[in-house]
Structure 1
């Protein structure tokens, strides 16, 4: 039998090119709405801030933890069918916002539907990109996907700003139509490519059950939890710190510059990140985040801008490396791997949300919000060291001590005859 053609790299990747373009459009449409959700629910529909917080917390939990369900669904019906299901759910959710602009019940239901669709889509999207691709091509594919998503994140909010409160029905109608068209395009995609022959051979011999790279056994799931935990302090609390010390316009410029830097840096650094040992990637990533937090604590326009740039470097290195390492260490289908990674991200974000509010409130009560960023800086330095120490201790405990085995004369001999 002939060798099946591979679809690695960028050769003959029309479906992948479409998927990258669709990733941009999907994020553009989503972030034309989602960043303003608290404003819409509170100011237009009159929900209390406590209720708004609960709705958004539940939506975030669904969006992250639902990645596990996405992996299971993709294993049963395939990544393309899972993406179609996700887009149908998200389209229905945005459509429900049209009458939901006057109904709190419909609006809350729409938020949950959109979150369910997002939970199903991203693991299947990444799985479709890497299925059938050589391992050497995965960093470029995943970094290109991240760049497409971040470009949509950067452009979505300013594109929707003129319509959010004045003409929300027009905004939601346009986003619904966009998702419907993108869904039609997904329906025309071919089934995902088969796994590379080398991967199938590894599975057949059982080698796929073993990690391809050990790096002291650091588990990507735990490192992902820790990466997102540290990063979300920056995501959640920079606005509270930066706006009073600079201006709303400067804060917006920082966010736009951050997104543009992600779009440019991640593809450029993808091969270098892939070549890094996992432990070295952790040093670079968490070190950059710690430095970013310390510089932000310095304050002012320069400190906040430079600190955000350092945080961007940490995100680029850690988030891509975590996904690559999770893929390399698992024999499971890519959609299942990415689903578990989404769950890890959700746990990290949840932990950061629970801890961050208390720490920030305590820092403000002490009269110095800078103390918050220094506390997070220390966490970024110490927690990876503690995780590495715990993993090493468990590895040492699993290795039998010399002389612990019975002498050969006492071992059970096979029966004769």
Structure 2
């Protein structure tokens, strides 16, 4: 079978867009929709399930979800390292087996509730292992000019699954959780079986015996790592606290509409803008992305329904630029394998999201005590303007022998 990214008998694919895709890549993009579809039929409702169905206290639920989120994001660095050791396809298979076992555990937790916490952590471990290998497999053998289109297509599929999953599962989470967990487990079994039939990527061999092992963060692209952590830190101010703010000023249904708008923008805009984002120099891309975040967070402070929609849209457009450009720049600057690089970027995302929960929670709590939560969004917007200045200062000092460009691309 030809290397992933090439067509049998036709030579290398053209240097633009996605077309045509071979069978393995079509299946991988379909999986990038089905996996979050199944996951988000369950995971967004875990706080309700753990509290109301299994009787856990809200304090305990909060700790469990915080640990699970940190594992799911930051564990990606271990997923990238595992892919370096055993290969991309085997890592994806291991990850899906672990995640499927987690959903089986959630089903069994209906009879024995203490299993629920371990099962949830297991599903998050599977997610952490899977995503770096998935992204690396998706762009393996693909010319650099086409990589943004492939990554954007994968992100669009992921966000589509995240948007549709809760809509399907919402009516059944509390009324029929057993059947829901059975359906999700069956979906993961089918997807896992499909991954077992994927070809190994060309050159996918384990390291030679006795080869020195590199540390998880060796060769990290410092500036894209820091920029990714900062982008997720600021984005999760929106992700963590918009529900409290929006439901108080509108309704839970309107909050769902805001989220649907954000998902739709990622699905539609990022693939269309991927080529432009690739060509954009890195410095201006950071300015555009963080300016979008700042504008969106400031608009949220108005507090009206149109402001909630407009703020969510601006934040999403800023993140479309930041998340994709940071990944592309990390791939350009780091000498490590693609899977390790994606794992390092996931670690940055986890650190940023965790810091947002801790520091952002204190700021939002202060706003509640003073009776003006609108100030929280203005403070968050100010951080979007001030903190990136530190990154631009870091950019001037970021040249390091271990981070020399490994691929030719548009100079920043």
SS in 1 for 2:387: helix
Alpha-carbon distance in structure 2 between the residues aligned to 1:6 and 1:61 = 39
Q: Which moved more, 1:232-241 or 1:380-389?
A: 380-389
SS in 2 for 1:259: helix
Alpha-carbon distance in structure 1 between the residues aligned to 2:12 and 2:67 = 41
Q: Which moved more, 1:60-69 or 1:280-289?
A: 60-69
Alpha-carbon distance in structure 2 between the residues aligned to 1:29 and 1:303 = 32
What's the CA shift for 1:387? 2.1
What's the CA shift for 1:356? 0.7
What's the CA shift for 1:341? 0.4
Deviation readout 1:331-352 (Å, 9 max, x if unpaired): 2110000000000000100111
- Map of 2:407 onto structure 1: none
CA contact (8 A) 1:66 1:119 kept: yes
SS in 1 for 2:267: helix
**1:192 partnered with 2:201:** yes
Aligned pairs for 1:141-160 (under 5 A) are: 141-160=150-169
What's the CA shift for 1:193? 4.2
State which of 351, 362, 371 in structure 2 corresponds to 1:358: 362
**1:22 partnered with 2:31:** yes
What's the CA shift for 1:237? 0.4
Deviation readout 1:348-380 (Å, 9 max, x if unpaired): 001111101100011122221100000000001
Change (3 A) 1:67 1:13: same
- Map of 1:372 onto structure 2: 376
**1:74 partnered with 2:77:** no
Alpha-carbon distance in structure 1 between the residues aligned to 2:223 and 2:373 = 34
Alpha-carbon distance in structure 1 between the residues aligned to 2:290 and 2:49 = 36
Alpha-carbon distance in structure 1 between the residues aligned to 2:219 and 2:279 = 19
What's the CA shift for 1:104? 2.4
What's the CA shift for 1:303? 0.5
What's the CA shift for 1:84? 0.3
- Map of 1:121 onto structure 2: 130
Indicate the structure (1 or 2) with the bigger Cα radius of gyration.
1
What's the CA shift for 1:102? 3.4
- Map of 1:167 onto structure 2: 176
Alpha-carbon distance in structure 1 between the residues aligned to 2:399 and 2:87 = 36
Alignment RMSD: 2.0
Deviation readout 1:260-314 (Å, 9 max, x if unpaired): 1110001000000011111111111000000000111011111100000001101
- Map of 1:139 onto structure 2: 148
CA contact (8 A) 2:228 2:345 kept: yes
Alpha-carbon distance in structure 2 between the residues aligned to 1:337 and 1:106 = 33
- Map of 2:114 onto structure 1: 105
SS in 2 for 1:104: coil
What's the CA shift for 1:108? 0.8
**1:222 partnered with 2:226:** yes
Deviation readout 1:104-161 (Å, 9 max, x if unpaired): 2111111011011000000000000111111011000000000000000110101001
CA contact (8 A) 1:45 1:103 kept: no
**Aligned length, in residue pairs:** 376
- Map of 1:300 onto structure 2: 304
Greater percentage in helix: 1
CA contact (8 A) 2:83 2:133 kept: yes
Alpha-carbon distance in structure 1 between the residues aligned to 2:271 and 2:254 = 27
Alpha-carbon distance in structure 2 between the residues aligned to 1:59 and 1:218 = 26
Aligned pairs for 1:206-245 (under 5 A) are: 219-245=223-249
Structure 2 stretches of 5 or more lacking a match?
Answer: 205-217, 401-412
- Map of 1:336 onto structure 2: 340
Alpha-carbon distance in structure 2 between the residues aligned to 1:238 and 1:342 = 23
Change (3 A) 1:90 1:393: closer
- Map of 1:88 onto structure 2: 97
What's the CA shift for 1:12? 4.7
Structure 1 stretches of 5 or more lacking a match?
Answer: 196-208, 212-216, 397-417
What's the CA shift for 1:22? 0.7
**1:319 partnered with 2:323:** yes
CA contact (8 A) 2:156 2:267 kept: yes
State which of 272, 276, 283 in structure 2 corresponds to 1:279: 283
Change (3 A) 1:219 1:309: same
SS in 2 for 1:299: coil
Alpha-carbon distance in structure 2 between the residues aligned to 1:221 and 1:284 = 18
